[in-house]
Amino acid sequence: MIRDYNFFHRRYQQIEDDFLEILDFIDISDNFDDSCYQIGSSKMTDFCLKVGTEVETLFRQILEDNKFDLLPDISTKRRNQNIDVYREIIEPKYQLSKYILHVNPINKQIIPFENFDSQKPEWFTIYSRYKHNKIQLLKKWNLKYSLYSLGCLMLLMINHPSMDNKDFRRHRVSQKVFDLLNSIPKFCSRPYTSLRYC
């Protein structure tokens, strides 16, 4: 059964709450060079595995959508899915690298899929390399990766195929961490994706 936007929104809310719980113990800063972003913990390792799995699941959902059925060699790419396939197939259509998210707790903007047209997100490289080695993941994963991965998850969720050609209203998604009103696109026009933002 193909899960729709509402299923992934509920999952996003749970993961967003996990991130906010981490912030109960670490004082977040608007300077990504601050030491708070280098802190790792068992809680963040668990967060990494949860958000990484959800991101991979959403990528799969998007890639399986029939809008890609006529692309050359798509069946092989669907069988051998990885981040490079997502960059090759999904980025040209959805232009995830164009999104800028406003982070409420630090009043700062981030680009979760920055340079996705040419490279993998740094956090995803860490997640995929160490997801089966929690000891190493504990050493490598940090608060900055947690923030960026949560942003990637939100962008994939709001671009779920079940939302194609439908109005997407800001109030349909939790905005405890990211403020869509002050993000780019402005969620009231249709500049980058098939969604119509209102």
DSSP collapsed to 3 states, the chain: CCCCHHHHHHHHHHHHHHHHHHHCCCCCCCCCCCHHHHCCCHHHHHHHHHHHHHHHHHHHHHHCCHHHCCCCCHHHHHHCCCHHHHHHHHHHHHCHHHCEEEEHHHCEEECCCCCCCCCCCHHHHHHHHHCCCHHHHHHHCCHHHHHHHHHHHHHHHHCCHHHCCCEECHHHCCCCCEEEEEEECCCCCCCCCCCEEC
Q: Residue 184 sits in which domain range? A: 5-197
Q: How many Cβ atoms sit within 10 Å of the Cβ of residue 151?
A: 24
Q: How many Cβ atoms sit within 10 Å of the Cβ of residue 66?
A: 7
- Give Cα 17 distance to the centre of its chain: 15
pLDDT tens, per residue, the chain with 198 residues: 457 888 999 999 999 999 999 999 988 889 888 888 888 889 999 999 999 999 999 999 999 999 999 999 999 999 999 999 999 999 999 999 999 999 999 999 999 999 998 999 999 999 999 999 999 999 999 999 999 999 999 999 989 888 876 666 676 788 999 998 888 886 544 444 444 444
Number of domains in the chain: 1
For 134, how many CA atoms within 13 A lie in the half-sphere containing its CB? 10
Q: What is the pLDDT of residue 195?
A: 46
Q: Is the peptide bond before 105 cis (omega within 30 degrees of 0)?
A: no
* Residues 28 and 36 sit within 8 Å (Cβ to Cβ): yes
